[in-house]
């Protein structure tokens, strides 16, 4: 049996779900859309999806099994709770809400009405992330102690609502939520301290980027950075372990690994002239001292996002994206805002 899904918010991401992610899905069919904007209703018509005249009409339609929320972030909570009350399953775009408290209310409603609520943390399936997670899990560079995860763009903050606080705009909520979610999936340890700074170089009321340093109880330190004013990009991932360093430059998986050799033919580096000085510390290691390798094949989740949604609805599987995990990320975002606001390192037990 196929489940019937209606998309609420037929903008950039809503239409991407319909026309790309769910296009050939055999278990879920998109039967309609609801958007408050006439132009987006017309676009839905052109794309061949029935348009509903009101959200209530979607809720009242017994044929609807799943509602996908793909509106700006400020209305996710009210739309989600109304859908759960109407006994619909709900898939919600990230960031799930603006504040963690709102997610707690949604989680209560999902339990009360016994319906699925799952957040589309799609970047858990990104190849660059899965490759770095494999390197981490298999100790390919020894025990990892430093993680740098970045995305750099040069186009400023996109769209209209992403510039505004009341809609949940800003890059920490928009892109930060992806990178922080990936980090917490990778590192299985409590967070003990957080430092952060937000960037406002474009003059918006919300951040156009940020840097945060997160320290875990197991000693790992992570630098997470999002920038929208970077005309030269730094690598997507730079990770150091006790035996080497791993680099992934981009989403196309350009990158490599360098590990150190500890064999008998190990050669100490020779001093080099660097700038106006002499250095052995910063001299490149000799060829015999290191091995350069390709990035390893990565381990994939066994199911795709929507496959897992169906399996959870049918009570065959646990959710791959758990609401408690999403809640932890939302709480971390609040600590990051606090650290940046106070310009202090915040001690925590998250
Ligand atoms: P968008 O502005 O392109 O689209 C949002 C649509 O929602 C608009 O058409 C708007 O008219 C409609 N809308 C607003 N309020 C509504 C309401 N109350 N009821 C019905 N429709 C309403 O924005 P977008 O870029 O598509 O972002 C939408 C959501 O998707 C956001 O939460 C965003 O963070 C998320 N998103 C996720 C990813 C991802 O990779 N997971 C990528 C982009 C966007």
pLDDT digits (tens, 9 = 90+) for 295-332: 999 988 999 999 999 999 999 999 999 999 999 999 99
User: CB under 6 Å to ligand 1: residues?
Assistant: 8-14, 34-37, 40, 70-73, 75, 93-94, 120, 122, 159, 161, 174
In this prediction, residues 52-68 reach a mean pLDDT of: 98
CB 170 within 8 A of CB 74: no
From the alpha carbon of 120, which atom of ligand 1 is closest? 41
Quote the tokens at residue 47: 């794309």
**Cα R_g (the chain), whole angstroms:** 23
Task: Name the helix (H) or strand (E) containing 194.
Answer: strand 191-199
What is the model's pLDDT at position 269?
Answer: 82
What does the pLDDT average to over 5-29?
A: 97
Sheet holding 89-93, edge to edge: 50-51, 28-34, 3-8, 66-69, 89-93, 117-120
As a whole number of angstroms, the distance between CA 328 and CA 316 comes to 25
How far, in Å, from the CA of 245 to the mean position of ligand 1? 38
Average of pLDDT values for 156-178? Answer: 97
Residue 159 pLDDT class (50, 70, 90 cuts):
confident
Could you give the dihedral angle defined by the CA atoms of residues 334, 340, 343 and 344, in that order, rounded to the nearest 10 degrees? Answer: 40
Among 37-41, 281-285, 295-299, which stretch is predicted with the lowest mean pLDDT? Answer: 281-285
Ligand 1 mean position to 76 CA, how many Å?
A: 10
pLDDT tens column, 109-128: 999 999 999 999 999 999 99
Q: What is the number of the ligand 1 atom nearest to the C-alpha of 14?
A: 26
**What does DSSP assign to residue 36?**
S
Q: How far does residue 139's CA lie from ligand 1's centre (Å)?
A: 39
For residue 255, count CB atoms less than 10 angstroms from its CB and return exposed for 0-12, middle for 13-18, buried for 19 or more: buried
Given a cut of 90, whether residue 285 has pLDDT beyond it is no
The 10s digit of each residue's pLDDT in 328-348 is: 999 999 999 999 999 999 999
Predicted pLDDT at 78: 98
Q: Which domains does the chain have, with CATH numbers?
A: 3-120 (3.40.50.720), 124-253+295-302+331-347 (3.30.360.10)
**Residue 264 pLDDT greater than 70, yes or no:** no
Identify the CA nearest to 44 among candidates 69, 13, 10, 93.
Answer: 10
Structure confidence at residue 137 (pLDDT): 98
Task: Tell which one of 6, 8, 9 to mutate to probe ligand 1, the residue whose CB is within 8 A of the most ligand atoms.
Answer: 9
Bridge partners (DSSP) of residue 284 are: none
Helix, strand or coil, per DSSP, at residue 123: helix
Strands (E), 221-268: 221-227, 237-241, 244-248, 255-260
Sign of CA dihedral 164, 170, 175, 176: negative
Determine the Cα–Cα distance for residues 250 and 236; give it in Å rounded to an integer.
Answer: 5
Alpha-carbon distance of 197 to 345, in angstroms, equals 11
pLDDT-based confidence at residue 263 (cuts at 50, 70, 90): confident
Residue 17 Cα to ligand 1 middle (Å): 11
């Amino acid at each position: 049996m196929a489940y019937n899904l209606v998309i609420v918010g037929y903008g950039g991401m809503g239409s991407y779900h319909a026309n790309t992610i769910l296009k050939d899905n055999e278990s879920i069919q998109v039967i309609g859309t609801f958007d408050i904007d006439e132009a987006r209703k017309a676009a839905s018509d052109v794309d061949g999806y029935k348009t509903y005249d009101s959200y209530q009409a979607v809720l009242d339609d017994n044929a609807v099994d799943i509602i996908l929320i793909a509106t700006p972030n400020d209305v996710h909570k009210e739309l989600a709770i109304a859908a759960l009350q109407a006994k619909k399953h709900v898939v919600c775009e990230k960031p799930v809400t603006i504040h963690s408290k709102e997610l707690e209310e949604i989680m209560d409603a999902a339990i009360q009405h016994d319906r699925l609520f799952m957040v589309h943390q799609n970047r858990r399936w990104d190849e660059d992330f899965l490759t770095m997670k494999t390197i981490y899990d298999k100790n390919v560079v020894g025990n990892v102690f430093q993680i740098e995860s970045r995305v750099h763009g040069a186009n400023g903050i996109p769209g209209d609502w992403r510039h505004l606080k009341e809609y949940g705009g800003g890059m920490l909520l928009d892109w930060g939520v992806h990178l922080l979610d990936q980090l917490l999936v990778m590192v299985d340890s409590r967070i003990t301290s957080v430092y952060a700074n937000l960037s406002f170089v474009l003059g918006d009321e919300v951040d156009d980027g940020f840097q945060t340093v997160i320290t875990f109880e197991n000693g790992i330190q992570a630098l997470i950075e999002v920038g929208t004013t970077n005309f030269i990009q730094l690598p997507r991932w730079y990770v150091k372990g006790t035996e080497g360093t791993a680099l992934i430059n981009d989403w196309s998986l350009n990158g490599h690994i360098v590990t150190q050799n500890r064999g008998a033919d190990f050669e100490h580096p020779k001093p080099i002239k660097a700038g106006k000085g002499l250095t052995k510390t910063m001299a490149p290691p000799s060829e015999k001292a290191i091995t350069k390798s390709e990035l390893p094949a990565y381990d994939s989740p066994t199911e795709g996002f929507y496959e897992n949604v169906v399996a959870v609805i049918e009570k065959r599987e646990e959710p791959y994206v758990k609401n408690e995990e999403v809640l932890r990320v939302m709480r971390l975002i609040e600590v990051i805002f606090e650290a940046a606001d106070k310009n202090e390192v915040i001690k925590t037990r998250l």
